[in-house]
Amino acid sequence: MFIDFGIKDFIDILLVAFLLYYIYKLIKGSSSINVFVGILIFVLFRLVISQMLEMRLLGSILDTLYNVGAIVLVVLFQDEIRRFLFTLGTHRQVSVLIRFFTRNKQEKKENPEFLPLVMACISMAKQKVGALIVIEHNVPLDEVVRTGEILDANISQRLIENIFFKNSPLHDGAMVIRKRKIKAAGCILPVSHDLNIPKELGLRHRAAMGISQESDAHAIIVSEETGAISVAYKGEFYLRLNAEELESLLNKE
C-alpha cells in the first residue's frame, strides 16, 4: 500500500493531522472532548472493518451510522462549529478583505474616544463597583442587545457609573457600546464553560469570555470583589490592567 505513496499523500496526511489538532485544541477543556475521542475511535474502527478486514455486512452498517452521524455531529458540536467558523471568518487576512469590500469609501472611519470609558472603569474599580462593558466591532451583537434596555446615549463617565451603581436596576447586566454610543444596558451574555478559566474568576469574567469567543468584541470587567480591571478579547484574558494598559488595548482594534 506504500508503493504509490507520493508527495500528495504526504500533504493529505499533514492537512488531516493539522485539522484534527486544530479541532482538538478548539474543544480541549470542554465536555465535548470525550465525544471527539469517541468519534475518532469509531472512524478508525470503520476503516479497519471496511478497508483491511473487508467485512461487508458490518461495514455497510457502520457506513449507514457514519452517514447519519453527520447530522448528529452538527447538533452535538454546534457551539464548537460556530466558534470554528467565526475564528476562520475573523482571521486577520479575511477580516481585511471583508472590510475592503464592505466599507463606505466616502466616509472616513475614526477611532472612538475611550477616555470617558476608561475613567469610568478606574473610578468604579476604586469603589469596587462591579461592571461588565462590551464594545462591539465588526461582528454585530444584535441578539445580545435585544436582551437589554435600549439607550442610544452618548458615552459619558457619569452615565456609565450611574448605570452600574449597586442600586441601579441595570447594574447586573452588561452594557453594549456600538459606534461611540451606549446602545443598551442590562444585557445578557453567553457564559463560557471553558474549564481552563481560573476558578477565582466569577460569573462576570465567564460572561465576558463567552462573548469574546463568539465575536470580536472587547469585554471589560471590573471586579466587585477586588476592584481589578480585566479585558476578554478573542478568547483571552488580560488581567489587572491600569488606565494606560486598558486604553492601549481598546485602541489596538
Q: What's the structural domain count of the chain? A: 2
Q: Decide if 209 contacts 197 (C-beta within 8 A).
A: yes
Whole-prediction pTM: 0.63
* Domain end call among 35, 55, 89: 89
| pLDDT for the residue 106 | 40
> How many whole angstroms from its chain centre is CA 164?
24
SS3 206: helix
Look at residues 206, 8, 223, 215 and name the one whose alpha carbon lies nearest to residue 131.
223
* Domain end call among 55, 89, 123: 89
Query: Residues 69, 124: one domain?
Result: no
| pLDDT for the residue 99 | 53
Task: Measure the CA–CA gap between 136 and 215, rounded to whole angstroms.
Answer: 8
Buried b / exposed e over 177-202, threshold 16 CB at 10 Å, is bbeeebbbbbbebbebeeeebeeebe
Q: How far apart are the first and last CA of the chain?
A: 51
| pLDDT for the residue 139 | 85
Look at residues 150, 157, 218 and name the one whose alpha carbon lies nearest to residue 187.
150
Query: Residues 153, 245: one domain?
Result: yes
| pLDDT for the residue 110 | 42
Task: Measure the CA–CA gap between 229 and 119, rounded to whole angstroms.
Answer: 12
Domain extent for 213:
115-251
| pLDDT for the residue 15 | 86
> β-strands 229-233, 236-238: how paired?
antiparallel
* Domain end call among 42, 72, 89: 89
102 within a domain of the structure (yes/no): no
Tens-level pLDDT at each residue, the chain (253 residues) = 445 667 887 888 888 888 777 777 666 655 566 666 777 777 777 777 666 666 777 767 777 776 776 677 677 666 666 666 666 665 554 455 455 555 544 444 444 468 999 999 999 999 999 999 999 998 889 999 999 999 999 999 999 999 999 888 888 899 999 988 999 999 999 998 887 888 889 899 999 999 998 888 999 999 999 999 999 998 899 999 999 999 888 887 5
37 within a domain of the structure (yes/no): yes
103 within a domain of the structure (yes/no): no
List Cα–Cα distances, 84 to 22, 29, 69, 164, 191, in angstroms. Answer: 9, 16, 19, 34, 17
What does the radius of gyration of the chain's CA atoms come to, in whole angstroms?
A: 23
Query: Residues 179, 245: one domain?
Result: yes
| pLDDT for the residue 22 | 72
Query: Residues 119, 205: one domain?
Result: yes
Task: Measure the CA–CA gap between 251 and 244, rounded to whole angstroms.
Answer: 11
Cell numbers of 164, please?
452600574
Query: Residues 217, 166: one domain?
Result: yes
| pLDDT for the residue 219 | 96
